[in-house]
Amino acid sequence: MAKMRILNIVGTDCPENEAKFDKWYNEVHIPLLFKYKGLKKVTRYRLMTASQGQGAKFLAIYEYDDKAAMDAFPNSPEFKAAIDEMNGTWKDNMFQIIWAANYQPIKTWER
């Protein structure tokens, strides 16, 4: 049975330049974040059908083995480098972080 991980889930939107956002997120942002050894897995999602007031178009799920690894991440040099790069790339036209939340596992069911 796989270990149940701590999740950091972030909902974002980029109304101006979605292609640039996708390319940057996949090829620059995630590789920079993955330099932090405590980050184990990242999965990105795109909203399948949009309806008014539904919120974030993109969802990223960041997985950590434990709360200590997640809590240490914002103070790591890897996180600082990724944020500095992000602020440089998006200084003129920032994408929007709609919401973010952390979750701990309760139970998993599988077939």
42 lies in which domain range?
6-48+55-100
pTM of structure: 0.89
Question: What six digits make up the tokens of 67?
Answer: 């709360």
| Residues 36 and 77: beta-carbon distance below 8 Å | no
Sequence letter at residue 2: A
1 found inside a domain: no
Dist CA 26 CA 66 (whole Å): 24
Q: Is residue 10 part of a domain?
A: yes
> Residue 58: what pLDDT?
93
Q: Tell me the backbone φ, ψ of residue 88, rounded to 5 degrees.
A: -70, -45
Choice among 13-17, 20-24, 61-65 with the minimum mean pLDDT: 13-17
* CATH of residue 17: 3.30.70.100
Separation between Cα atoms, residue 45 and residue 58, nearest integer Å: 6
Q: Report if residue 109 sits inside a domain.
A: no
Within 8 A by CB and 6+ apart from 26, the residues are 44
User: Which of 5-9, 71-75, 93-97, 99-103 is least confident?
Assistant: 93-97
Count up the domains in the chain and report the number: 1
pLDDT band per the 50, 70, 90 thresholds, residue 93: confident
Q: What is the pLDDT of residues 27-72, one digit of tens each?
A: 999 999 999 999 999 999 999 876 666 778 999 999 999 999 999 9
